[in-house]
Amino acid sequence: MENAEVQSIHVHPVKAFQGFSPREAAVEPWGLAGDRRWTLIDDGGKVVTQREQPRLALAAAELLAGGGVRLSAPGQAPLTVSVPEAATTVPVNVFGTKVEAVPAAEAAHAWCTAFLRADVRLVHMDDPATRRPVDPEYALPGETVSFADGYPLLVATTASLDALNSLIAEGRHAHEGPLPMNRFRPNVVVTGTDPWAEDHWSRISVGEVVFRVAKASGRCVVTTVDQDTAVRGREPLRTLARHRRAGSRLIFGQNLVPLAPGTIRVGDPVRLLDQHRTTARRGGNQGRGPVVGRA
């Protein structure tokens, strides 16, 4: 960890859309400022992600001052969406958890529906401090999260991606590799570690901000979606199933919870403050309890 540092930072204003990579980002208790405060829902209120709609990989969201977003996608004129007034809310089903959110203007619903050719609505999380708690089995009192799959931030390392790509190159679907880091949609990418070093982390600092490592991140079909073409393949899930299994889950990266607000920057040193003995090795049961992915 002596040479570990932040290689890149990634913010996705709308869940499942393309995001952007700032040189620095404010860390709020529920995640990076502006990250996944918006999401699409179907006509039943269920969150829509690249699991159901891989085409979302082609849509982009630019974060605007005040929390609004500018949406763009192939075949669509760009649309600016302001933060809606919190006069009324609608229930949102986030993987079985009910969360209240504020609907965007009708123009946003029409834009997203036209792009996906499916009936969807765009909603905004107005108050992440109160709307959605982190899974209490793995949370400290009062911890909350935005529309991220389960935890405020996801960290991944370049060394582990390189190791994974080496394993993919040895497998039946070698032609699909090497995979880029954006398949895993992390918030923070760290360079300068050993492969799978993050399996040992319990508490780390990134620059001035200290994070608790909540659990390993379970990966889903979103990782098989080429983020440039929206075409699905078989990797990395085939290789993760052989080498990075935690019970029924396939793991890559670690979920983080900030212990205090602050700012992180590209080039910040990453230091290991505390570690645990449980490791995630090739094959077998790895990690600590159930794991959650990222969309």
Residues in the chain, total:
295
Structure tokens at 105: 């203007």
Q: Is the pLDDT of residue 207 over 60?
A: yes
Does pTM surpass 0.85?
yes
Q: What is the pLDDT of residue 86?
A: 81
Buried b (16+ CB within 10 A) or exposed e, 233-245: bebbbbbbeebbb
Q: How far apart are CA 5 and CA 179, in angstroms?
A: 21
Neighbours of 267 (CB within 10 A): 11
Q: Is the pLDDT of residue 262 over 80?
A: yes
Identify the DSSP state of 161. H
Q: How does the average pLDDT of the chain come out, rounded?
A: 93
The model's pLDDT over 155-196, given as tens digits with 9 standing for 90+, comes to 999 999 999 999 999 999 999 999 999 999 999 999 999 999
Q: How far apart are CA 229 and CA 253, in angstroms?
A: 23
- Residue 137's pLDDT band, with cuts at 50, 70 and 90, is confident
φ and ψ of 144, to 5 deg? -130, 170
Q: Is the pLDDT of residue 289 over 80?
A: no
For residues 124-148, give the mean pLDDT: 93
Q: Is the pLDDT of residue 285 over 50?
A: no
Q: What is the pLDDT of residue 284?
A: 35
Residue 243 identity: H
